[in-house]
Amino acid sequence: MFSLLRSMWLVFLHTFHKRETYQYPEEKAPLPARWRGRIALTRDPDGGERCVGCYLCAAACPVDCISLQATEAPDGRRYPSFFRINFSRCIFCGFCEEACPTYAIQLLPDFEMAEYDRQNLVYEKEDLLINSQGKYPGYNYYRVAGMAIEGKDKGEAQHEEPPVNIKSLLP
Amino acid sequence: MTIYIDNKPYEVKPGKNLLEACLELGLNLPYFCWHPALGSVGACRQCAVKVFKDEDDKTGRLVMGCMEPVRDNLRLSIEDPGAKTFRDQVIGWLMTNHPHDCAVCDEGGSCHLQDMTVMTGHTYRNYRFSKRTFENQDLGPFISHEMNRCIQCYRCVRFYKDYAGGKDLNVFAAHNHVYFGRCENGTLESEFSGNLAEVCPTGVFTDKTLHSHYTRKWDMTWAPSVCQGCSLGCNTSAGERYGSLRQITNRYNGEVNGYFLCDRGRFGYEFVNSDQRILQAAIRPHYNGTTNKDHILEQVAQKVKNGRTIGIGSPRASLESNYALKLLVGEDNFYLGMSDTDHDHTSLALKILRDGPARTPSMQEAAKADVVFILGEDLTNTAPMLALAVRQAAQHKPESDAMGDIHVAAWQDAAVREAVQDKHGPVYIFHTVPTKLDELAEDIHRGAPEQLARLGFAIAQMLGADIVPVTGLSQEDAALAEKIAAALMTAEHPLIISGYGSGCDHMMKAAANIAWALQQKGRNPMLSLTLPEVNSMGLEILGGHRLDTALDVLRQGDADTVIVLENDLYRRADPHIIDEIFLHAQDVILIDHLYNRTAEKATVLLPAGTFAEADGTVVNNEGRAQRFYQVFVPKGDMQESWRWCLQIAEKAGITALQGLRNLDDIDLALTNGMPSLEPLQQLAPHAGFRINGQRIPREPHRYSGRTAILANENVSEPKPAEDVDTPLSFTMEGYRGEPPSPLIPFFWSPGWNSVQSVNKYQQEIGGHLHGGDPGIRLLEPHLNGGPHYFHEAPDTFVPIPGHVHIMPLYHIYGSEELSMYTPGIAQQAGEFCCLYLNPEDLAQWNIAPGNWVTIDLDHHACRLVATPNHWMPRGLGAVSAGMPHSPVVDLPVCVKLQA
């Protein structure tokens, strides 16, 4: 009997507490920066596409909802000629982001993707590529990797010596 | 003998090294510089194991597994902490300069270096200083070069120079700057350069054709296939993604191609993706503009029903397709779609191998020969992988001598090569023009093909063959013949090679005489004959009429409809003859995959599947029947040629083909109809074959993108295609263990993603696959009764005034029809429209080199560019054979020459 009254009293007290419920959609919930929501393809600090089409995101995806084709631009940079995510299958596990060696694919704090037609949940590269570095500003894969591209020759990446003169026998 | 690995006893074969022994037992031991075909050099220090003196020895000593032979009661440990740490540190050092670029590396996912790094547990880089870098080279259209990734294992140069005899890839510079490449930019000259992509344990050398439509190994749909490039039938794995063929890799076969492929086979696949493909059935003239498949089949069936139809088969179509056409048109109306010369050569080869007493070797057997005699064949261009086998055979004798002299095992590569230096076993080559194998030859003889064949007959006679004696030999020639005869007599496994390459059937006859004479003397000769195309032998076994008689039948009006199977007739006879066939035929129904000159004139086009879109069986020059499997289901109307024949037969009510539905049905009909092909039933598991109720998946277990590949068309995934013909499935679901050897779509084993995983599929390293190598030999020598020698040697070659006798010259790049659709191969193809003539002949006829000359071909004038070539004997000319749009097709031919 006492516990019953006590519970009623506690419920009554909540009437005077600060409200926890967000009046969504009028009021947006603040999402943490690492919220695993909508997937985007980000860009390098110099504006180039970060995705090099390595297929690791597709391989990591447990529901196999990512499909792409790698290709190479005349300047030597690799990029995906198409990049498709079927969000009607995506479970937002974030494995693709973990697998990505170039920080290209990122899950952003945005979940408002609902559609009436399932077909509209198929996102192509135009829908995915954003004009931002996302959560990892400053990272530029080609400045780390040993491959030469236009504007960054062999030996010009971070922690690289200039190319060897193979005709020299000096140590 | 017994060895103890980590205190467990194992039985191993003597003569191996510890690394081989461990791998054979299924244990994982990392390695880089060792390769099963190249032997051990102990350079990379990666396969270190601890070896213990006896049971009580707890300290042990580190040895390199690849350099230590197995001994009875040897105790070793792979798991010993000392050995493990050592391996971990070694790979740490190897990786100090390795760039941070797996993501953009084409080797990633099938990389031996990745696998070994994971296997040793070296997962984080400790090295924080700057990395060495190199400039890359442009190595031509087939191979990409990225030297930064190199770990200095030396396998590339050991394969390219020591194994394949290449000259232009080498190692430069010194200490930690060693550089593997050419002395300058340029296309790799070796015909086996593509193997560098598989031999290199990391991504220094990668497949450039794959790069142009790059896909990871795990993302491709694979199927066991057979190379369509020449008559040797090397086994390949073909990989597809998004409806196009992406890559051909080697599929190990312990009897045929072993670990390697030639560049024509590896890169000549791009015709499958060509924009010249016929995608839809079509009929001329269009009825209301529709190309309805059923409607067209109905029309074709009407024509076939009239019974005035003939069928022309093809040596590049499968046994099943040829047989289905044969039944569709009736046995009497089936013509072999080979040029008459090819037909003569192939039927002769079949007769020699089926009725003669000499055995034809598999390619791996040929590589073990101790004396090689090549009669009128430029192997590098007509049967490239056999040339590679001859290179191994030439090493055989000095290697075994060295092993006897200095007591080292065959796998001690550096020691053996040091002892061998540049010695070669006896190789004798007779050919009109220089060949790439000449550098191995002890004696070379040049001359007109007839002259060479005469000398071959003389050798056979010296060996005791009962033939008409060859007279008028010069003293030198007679001495050479004696020498070769003596060498062949003393050899334990003499190999005699001939074939279609010089366009002279007397060459094969001479080779057969020699082999048979040796056989009569109690020797054990091997006789290998090259043939023009992938299924030449199969088509000849099926049998049919000659192509020129087809024209007679049409001329007489006995037939009015022609069904052409996977064949460009303009490559089979001179253009004016084929034009006449089209003139007389009311309807030409073409079942083919490429829009070629024949397709331009055909009235009905039915799109056939290539080797990648069809199942079938082909028979190689050794008489080995091999099955190739469909890789993927194409869009459009494309299907197997035999399926087109079955569907036409159903509509036309042809009883011979009634009730046949799939590959097994037609193979059963084939073996019932031709009892000599009975072994085909054991060739591969039937369509109903299952392991634990499951099919064999064509896709690796990490195949990605299933729910996204077609989502742009429809978000609901379609049902995967079903395979009614084979036990393979078009999906990633199915039995994950090791499939039977004919059904291995790709080599993979846990922890072994690269092609090196093949060691998990072999009975012993470099030996047969588990359950035996795929393929069944249909031809075995006929040992009862003495041989029926070819008695008459050809007459001496005498130039005819005003005429030139034109022989064919074959080229690895250019002479084969389908591989020419690969841009890289077309780019390297030789000159066509050249008529090579002796400079003295040119002077005599007052022809300036480089001028056009006219030859008279059956009263049809052809123009060719006169090109001096001092290897040509007087009165003999040569034309590159098989080149696209070549005006002279049926070679050899004797023609009148006008300046």
This complex has an ipTM of 0.91
- How do residues B499-548 score in pLDDT, each as one tens digit? 999 999 999 999 999 999 999 999 899 999 999 999 999 999 999 999 98
Q: Among B301, B183, B778, which Cα is nearest to B563's?
A: B301
- Helix H segments across B241-333? 263-267, 293-305, 319-329
What DSSP line would sit under B642-707, residue for residue? HHHHHHHHHHHT-GGGTT--SHHHHHHHHHHH-GGGGGGGGSS--TT--BTTBPEESS-TT---TT
Burial of B404 (C-beta count, 10 Å sphere; 0-12/13-18/19+) = exposed
Q: Which CATH number fits domain B351-532: 2.60.40, 3.40.228, 1.20.120, 2.40.30?
A: 3.40.228
b or e along B476-488 (b: 16 or more beta carbons within 10 Å of the residue's beta carbon)?
Answer: ebeebbebbbebb
Cβ-defined contact of B711 to A86 (cutoff 8 Å)? yes
Closest B-chain CA to A121? B715
Measuring CA to CA, which residue among B389, B353, B349, B352 is closest to residue B372? B389
Please indicate if any CB of chain A lies within 8 Å of the CB of B101.
yes
Phi, psi of B618 (to 5 degrees): -125, 155
Minimal-distance CA residue of chain B relative to A147: B101
Closest CA to B69 of B3, B125, B152: B3
B692 contacts B735 by C-beta, under 8 angstroms: yes
Express each pLDDT in A77-120 by its tens digit: 999 999 999 999 999 999 999 999 999 999 999 999 999 999 99
Q: What is the largest CA-CA distance in chain B?
A: 92
Q: Is the bond into B892 cis (omega within 30 degrees of 0)?
A: yes
Q: Does B407 touch chain A (CB under 8 A)?
A: no
Instruction: Give the separation between CA B416 and CA B40, rounded to whole angstroms.
Output: 10
Query: Which chain A residue has its CA at the smallest distance from B732's CA?
Result: A64
Q: CA-to-CA distance for B831 and B850, rounded, in angstroms?
A: 12
The SS3 of residue B604 is: strand
B707 touches chain A (CB under 8 A): yes
The answer to whether B103 faces chain A, any CB pair under 8 Å, is yes
**Amino acid at site B103:** A
Q: Which residues of B touch A101 (CB under 8 A)?
A: 102-103
Contacts of B132 in chain A (CB under 8 A): 161, 164
Three-state DSSP state, B832: coil
Q: Which H or E element spans position B238?
A: strand B235-241
Q: Which amino acid is at B198?
A: E
- Are B642 and B672 in contact by the 8 Å Cβ rule? The answer is no
- The first and second tokens of residue B265, run together, are 């086979």
Strands B205-207 and B221-226: unpaired
What is residue A153's three-state secondary structure? coil
B293 to each of B285, B386, B450, B567, B638, how far by Cα in Å? 15, 43, 52, 21, 11
A155 to chain B nearest CA, in Å? 6
Residue of chain B nearest A86, judged by CA positions: B708
Amino acid letter, B561: T
Residues of A whose CB is below 8 A from B130? 159-161
Mind telling me how many Å the CA of A28 is from chain B's nearest CA?
30
What residue segments make up the domains of chain B, in order of their start?
Answer: 2-94, 351-532, 803-898
- Using the beta-carbon criterion (under 8 Å), do A55 and B704 form an inter-chain contact? yes
Q: One-letter amino acid identity for B436?
A: K
Q: Distance between CA B88 and CA B383 in Å, rounded?
A: 44
1-30 of A, contacting B, C-beta below 8 A = none
A45 touches B at CB < 8 Å: no
**DSSP bridge partners of B867:** B836
CB contact under 8 A, B104 and A163: no
d(CA B580, CA B340): 16
Instruction: Determine, for residues A54 and B102 on separate chains, whether the beta-carbon distance falls below 8 Å.
Output: yes
Q: Which CATH class is domain B803-898?
A: mainly beta
Q: Which fold has domain B2-94?
A: Ubiquitin-like (UB roll) (3.10.20)
Q: What does each of the 171 residues of chain A score in pLDDT, given as a tens digit?
A: 899 999 999 999 999 998 888 899 999 988 998 899 999 999 999 999 999 999 999 999 999 999 999 999 999 999 999 999 999 999 999 999 999 999 999 999 999 999 999 999 999 999 999 999 999 999 999 998 888 999 999 999 999 999 999 888 887
User: What does the block give as tokens for B637?
Assistant: 């109307």
CA distances to B396, B398, B656 from B403, rounded to whole Å, are 10, 9, 60
User: Which residue in A has a C-alpha nearest to residue B212's C-alpha?
Assistant: A71
> Which residue's entry shows tokens 């040697």?
B793
Residue type, B761: Y
A139–B contact, CB cutoff 8 A: no
Residues of chain B under the 70 pLDDT cut: 286-290, 831, 899
Q: What is the pLDDT of residue B292?
A: 85
* Structural element, H or E, at residue A7: helix A2-14
Domains delineated in chain A: 26-142 (3.30.70.3270)
DSSP string, B421-465: TT----EEEE-SS--GGGGG-SEEE-S-HHHHHHHHHHHHHHTT-
Quick check: A150 and A48 in contact, CB under 8 A?
Answer: no
Residues of A whose CB is below 8 A from B703: 64
Among candidate residues B877, B805, B801, B798, the one with its CA nearest the CA of residue B844: B801
Element (H, E) at B355: helix B340-355
Q: Is B130 on the interface with A (CB under 8 A)?
A: yes
Q: State how far the Cα of B512 lies from the Cα of B457, in Å rounded to an integer.
A: 10
Taking Cα atoms as reference points, which of B324, B363, B311 lies closest to residue B626?
B363
Distance between CA atoms of B36 and B38, rounded to whole angstroms? 6
Nearest Cα to Cα of residue B527 among B538, B537, B514: B514
Contacts of A75 in chain B (CB under 8 A): none
What CA dihedral angle connects A78, A83, A89 and A92, to 10 degrees?
50
Q: Would an 8 Å CB–CB cutoff place B167 in contact with chain A?
A: no
**Distance, first Cα to last Cα, chain A:** 91
What is the pLDDT, as a whole number, of residue B662?
Answer: 93
Categorise residue B882: left if φ over 0, alpha if ψ from -120 to 50, beta otherwise: left
User: CB–CB of B707 and A58 under 8 A?
Assistant: no
Contacting residues for A131 by C-beta, under 8 A, at least 6 apart? A43
Structure tokens given for B471? 């007279």
Mind telling me how many Å the CA of A4 is from chain B's nearest CA?
Answer: 53
* Å between A128 CA and nearest CA of chain B: 14
Asked if A147 has any chain B CB less than 8 Å from its own CB, the reply is yes
Q: Matching CATH topology for B2-94 and B351-532?
A: no
What is the spatial distance between Cα A153 and Cα A140, in angstroms, rounded to a whole number? 15
Cα–Cα dist B206/B220, whole Å? 17
Q: Residue B104 is nearest to which of A52, A59, A65, comparing CB atoms?
A: A52
